[in-house]
Structure 1
Amino acid sequence: MKAAVARCAAQGCTPEKDAAAALALSHAQFLMGEYEAARRTLWAALDRNKASARQHPLPYAALLRARVKIDSHLGEYEDARSGSIRQMILLRDTLLAKDHNAIAARVQLADVNAHIGQSRLAESQYRESLNLALAAGDVPVEIATRFRLAKFWTPKGNGPVSTSDRRKVAEILEPIITAVDDERRKYSVPARMIIARLAERSGNADAINAVLRDAPPGSMTAPQLLSFTPVEFKGRSATCQDELEGKSSANGYRTVDKVNTACHDPRNLVSPIDVDKQWINVGFWITPEGTVRDIEILQRGSAYVGDWSKKVERAIGSRRYAPWRPQSGGPGLYRIERYSMTAPYFVPTGSTLRQHSTQTTLEIADITAW
């Protein structure tokens, strides 16, 4: 793979071949935990193909999408957001307004904004994407966006859900639940399951079983996650419990502007470990009954420290899926997930150097099929 990229760099390739070679190499580097190397591979390919991006927008957009994923696993959330914006603008300006790829790029940008806490902007972009998908007759993007909005409006945790939130989720999923066309109708049971889960959280213990009883035979052919206990990390070091107030600096990074007395020591603001090299691969089975078994850590990053993998194992073990029927008739689905422990960057007061904060986050990627 390195040889293919080197040939393109030295001799020149078509944008399609160059992008394919760079994507294959960066994926391999990602799987090996070489995030910075994967990022450099993608940056170099983007630079080589910059001049032809408008003539060949799809391979260039694929490079940007891959870069967004790598940036997120490195805690480079501002770069992830800028990459999503670049992709959206490129496809918007070079493809037809109703093109599937152009609308899907807007959805990805909304995903990134939702992930970094830009909630109002993300909701607006999801709604805009849904309207564009409806106008274009793009059913796959319409369905994906409806499910995203339903998730967006679902309060985190396992506690009761307000009537207004349940109503919003039900309204956005209703066109899927009541659809008569095959393309939407095959997602009817998963949509009903989401509403049933909200009802269960609010006290209706039989809501999910009612959906399963009414579901057509064989309609649940893939596991659908119903509930889980999330992985939780302390937001900051034990000696820095007070809230930090901050503002965005001109370069877009968060700058600590006012720090309570307990937090004056910069060591209490900066991540004490090298979060760039903290990753694990976890394998587990999802049974037809909806339980998880045989959880095991398959790989750890070479610089792994601490016991946070145990928290991940407990969180996976707490998952509850809806009962389903494997199409192959086997024992279930074996899944492998990559977990990267990272943290966003910020610039401490009095410094010009970016640092990883103590606001630890987990980035997750399903690498089963990679």
Structure 2
Amino acid sequence: MLSPVLLLLAQAAAPPPPAGDVIVVGHRAEQELARCLARNCPPAEEVDTSLEASVEQFADGRYTDARRTLQTAIRRNRNHAAELPGPVSSLYATLATVAEHEGDTDLWRTAARNNVLVLRRHLGETNLATLREELSFADSLVGLGAPGAANSAYRTIQQRAAGSGHPGIAAGAAFRRAWLALLRDRFKEAQRFADEAVSLAGTDNRLMVDLREVLRTRIAIRKGDEGAIEALAARLRQSADVQPQLLFAPPLANNNPPAPPFGVHLNPWHDSRIRFADVGYWIRANGQTAEVEVLRTSGLDQWEPGILRQVRERRYVPLEAEPGHPGIYRIDRFTVRGAMDVPTGSHLRQRMGDLTVHVVDLTETDAMREARRRQTAAASAVKGG
């Protein structure tokens, strides 16, 4: 799972939902998709409706249904990628997210790669939409446990974006390189890349300057300065109308059973379940979380206390808000699952191995879908022009 600080660079800012909103998961989009297919609707409409239905299914915890909806839409519409490069690439991008949470690492990698290939082929390597999805693919490589490949990809993206007049993308790639260096305890290298990111973005880019300060704070924490978070929080403020900026989150506890003694055999198919939970919480004006609770769960079992503790101990940038402002409400989907693999002596893919935790912000679902619509429309307009 990629650090939320890195994900911040790729996410579109969106206003928080009003306090008291009720989230209802129904089947409206699925029904609309069925009607669309029954009347043989145009490819552009089918792709958009399929995306809506898959998001609805994913939010409802029906990962298999979401995957099948997307795969069917891809089979029916991949030949329309030339005239619909953005929408078709969005099918692959959404499929990659679903595959990650479902535990199909092969499909996750393939879908993320195909998302990029569609845009490269039909929009070009230096198109803004292509470069954004190149970053997303490199982020997926981090999640797939290939940080070296991800770092090489970030370097290439940084060079390509800087040379084609996209300083924001170049800065985002440079900062990701800084964060990977931090994770490897290469502090001087991390600071150098972070400085590059600020230089590329421009010193008037407050977000990148703030992110550099976040990285410096994380270095200070790793060196034992426990007061670094409070000192940084005292300096930073952000509007209550933008996406919350994470300063610190403790690692999630690993609740996998200990490895067996040498020579002791355990069933490799020890856990075939997918567990998930939607965790709601407030981010108060001081940047601390409050009222953390499980809104819906399929049974996290022993993982639930650690997940709730992690959310409670997060620290966000304090908000610039009027006195009495309730803060920002968020809902995160936590999925706990093993990866799909083929065990020795078998030809059948099974869910096996250690369980891992994967997180997606459900609060952003509608906003991200609208942002994707605008992005794909822009990409199609560029193609048409």
1:316 to 311, 332, 348: 311
2:263 to 241, 261, 264: 261
Q: Does 1:348 align with 2:343?
A: yes
CA 1:270/1:42 → structure 2, altered by over 3 Å: closer, same or farther?
Answer: same
2:260 to 241, 262, 278: 241
2:141 to 110, 113, 119: 113
Q: Please identify, of 61-70 and 191-200, the stretch whose mean Cα deviation from structure 2 is larger.
A: 191-200
CA 1:53/1:124 → structure 2, altered by over 3 Å: closer, same or farther?
Answer: same
Q: Does 1:26 align with 2:54?
A: yes
Measure the CA separation in 2 of the matches of 1:83 and 1:155. 26
CA 1:360/1:113 → structure 2, altered by over 3 Å: closer, same or farther?
Answer: same
Q: Does 1:202 align with 2:199?
A: no
Q: Does 1:58 align with 2:60?
A: no
CA 1:175/1:124 → structure 2, altered by over 3 Å: closer, same or farther?
Answer: closer
Measure the CA separation in 2 of the matches of 1:232 and 1:363. 13
SS at match of 1:299: strand
Identity of aligned residues (%): 26
Structure 2 counterparts to residues 1-370 of structure 1, below 5 A: 1-155=29-183, 161=185, 165-177=186-198, 181=202, 184-204=205-225, 207-208=228-229, 211=232, 223-235=244-256, 237-238=257-258, 240-241=259-260, 261-263=263-265, 265=266, 267=267, 269-275=268-274, 278-301=275-298, 304=299, 306-326=301-321, 330-370=325-365
For residues 217-255 of structure 1, give each alpha carbon's deviation from its aligned partner in whole angstroms, at most 9, with x where no partner exists.
7679764323332222344x45x525xxxxxxxxxxxxx
Report the TM-score when normalising by structure 1: 0.82
Q: Please identify, of 188-197 and 176-185, the stretch whose mean Cα deviation from structure 2 is larger.
A: 176-185
**How big is the shift at 1:324?**
3.2
Confirm or deny: 8 A CA contact 2:341 2:351 kept in the other structure: yes
Which amino acid in 1 is paired with 2:251?
Answer: P
**How big is the shift at 1:46?**
0.6
Residue in 2 that maps onto 1:253: none
CA 1:128/1:326 → structure 2, altered by over 3 Å: closer, same or farther?
Answer: farther
SS at match of 2:50: helix
Measure the CA separation in 2 of the matches of 1:59 and 1:178. 33
**How big is the shift at 1:366?**
0.3
For residues 257-301 of structure 1, give each alpha carbon's deviation from its aligned partner in whole angstroms, at most 9, with x where no partner exists.
xxx5212x4x2x2233522xx110000111222221111100112
Confirm or deny: 8 A CA contact 1:189 1:211 kept in the other structure: no
Residue in 2 that maps onto 1:254: none
Confirm or deny: 8 A CA contact 1:177 1:185 kept in the other structure: no
Confirm or deny: 8 A CA contact 2:112 2:137 kept in the other structure: yes
Which amino acid in 1 is paired with 2:361?
Answer: D
Residue in 2 that maps onto 1:255: none
CA 1:9/1:326 → structure 2, altered by over 3 Å: closer, same or farther?
Answer: same
Confirm or deny: 8 A CA contact 1:114 1:122 kept in the other structure: yes
Confirm or deny: 8 A CA contact 1:22 1:45 kept in the other structure: yes
Residue in 2 that maps onto 1:245: none
Which amino acid in 2 is paired with 1:295?
Answer: V
Confirm or deny: 8 A CA contact 1:177 1:192 kept in the other structure: no
Query: Unaligned stretches of 5+ in structure 1?
Result: 243-259
**How big is the shift at 1:356?**
1.1
Confirm or deny: 8 A CA contact 1:179 1:185 kept in the other structure: no
CA 1:314/1:211 → structure 2, altered by over 3 Å: closer, same or farther?
Answer: closer
**How big is the shift at 1:73?**
0.6
Q: Greater RCO between the two (CA within 8 Å, min separation 6)?
A: 2
SS at match of 1:369: helix
* Segments of 4+ moved more than 6 angstroms: none
SS at match of 1:55: coil
For residues 165-220 of structure 1, give each alpha carbon's deviation from its aligned partner in whole angstroms, at most 9, with x where no partner exists.
222221122144457857634431232222123123314456556555665x7679
Q: Please identify, of 342-351 and 305-314, the stretch whose mean Cα deviation from structure 2 is larger.
A: 305-314
**How big is the shift at 1:11?**
3.3
Measure the CA separation in 2 of the matches of 1:30 and 1:218. 31
For residues 297-347 of structure 1, give each alpha carbon's deviation from its aligned partner in whole angstroms, at most 9, with x where no partner exists.
00112xx26232222101111222343324897222111100111111221
Measure the CA separation in 1 of the matches of 2:74 and 2:96. 12
For residues 70-122 of structure 1, give each alpha carbon's deviation from its aligned partner in whole angstroms, at most 9, with x where no partner exists.
00010011101001111111211111222011112211211111111112111
Computing the radius of gyration from Cα coordinates, the structure with the larger value is 1
* RMSD, aligned α-carbons: 2.6
Report the TM-score when normalising by structure 2: 0.79
Q: Please identify, of 56-65 and 350-359, the stretch whose mean Cα deviation from structure 2 is larger.
A: 350-359
